Amino acid sequence: MNALPDTSEMPQRLLRRPREIRPSPMALSKRNTVVMHREWKMEEEPYSGSEYYSSGRDGDQLVINMTAGGSVPTISFTTVEENTIELLVVVTRKMHLILNDRLNEYLLATIGSVAQNFKHSSLKSAIKISIVDIILLDSNFALREGLDDWSNKNHEEVMGKFCHWVNRIRRPTMNWDSAILLNVGNFKTMALGVAHYQAMCSLESSCLVVVDRGFGTADIIAHEIGHQLGAKHDFEVGSECGFEEQPSRKRTMQKLSRRTQEKYDTTIQRDTVMSGILYFELYPFRWSACSRQNIQFFLS
Residue-level pLDDT, tens digit, the chain, 300 residues: 444 444 445 566 665 555 555 555 443 333 444 444 443 333 333 433 333 333 344 444 444 444 444 555 555 555 567 899 999 999 999 999 999 999 999 999 999 999 999 999 999 988 999 999 999 999 999 999 999 889 888 899 999 999 999 999 988 888 999 999 999 998 888 889 999 999 999 989 999 999 999 989 999 999 999 999 999 999 888 778 888 776 543 444 444 344 434 455 556 778 899 998 877 777 788 999 999 999 999 998
265 to each of 36, 43, 239, 254, 277, how far by Cα in Å?
Answer: 18, 18, 14, 6, 12
Q: What is the pLDDT, as a whole number, of residue 67?
A: 44
| 96 assigned ligand-binding residue | no
Please state the pTM of the whole predicted model.
Answer: 0.72
Length of the chain measured in residues? 300
Cβ–Cβ < 8 Å for 84, 118: no
Q: What is the pLDDT, as a whole number, of residue 178?
A: 97
Q: Following CA atoms 109, 111, 115, 117 in sequence, which dihedral angle do they give, to the nearest 10 degrees? A: 90
| 155 assigned ligand-binding residue | no
> What is the rounded distance in angstroms from the CA atom of residue 54 to the CA atom of residue 294?
21
- Evaluated on CA atoms 180, 181, 185, 188, the torsion sign reads negative
Paired residues of 89 in beta bridges:
134, 180
> What is the rounded distance in angstroms from the CA atom of residue 59 to the CA atom of residue 66?
23
Angle of CA points 223, 244, 242, to nearest 5°: 20
Q: What is the pLDDT, as a whole number, of residue 43?
A: 33
Domain ranges of the chain: 19-43+81-253+265-299
Paired residues of 215 in beta bridges:
none
Q: What is the pLDDT, as a whole number, of residue 53?
A: 37
Q: Which helix (H) or strand (E) holds 179?
A: strand 178-183
| 227 assigned ligand-binding residue | yes
Q: What is the pLDDT, as a whole number, of residue 30?
A: 37
> What is the rounded distance in angstroms from the CA atom of residue 230 to the CA atom of residue 14?
31
Cβ–Cβ < 8 Å for 95, 27: no
Q: What is the pLDDT, as a whole number, of residue 160?
A: 94
CATH number of 19-43+81-253+265-299: 3.40.390.10
**Known catalytic residues?**
224
Q: Which of 149, 5, 174, 230 shows the shortest CA–CA distance to 157? A: 149
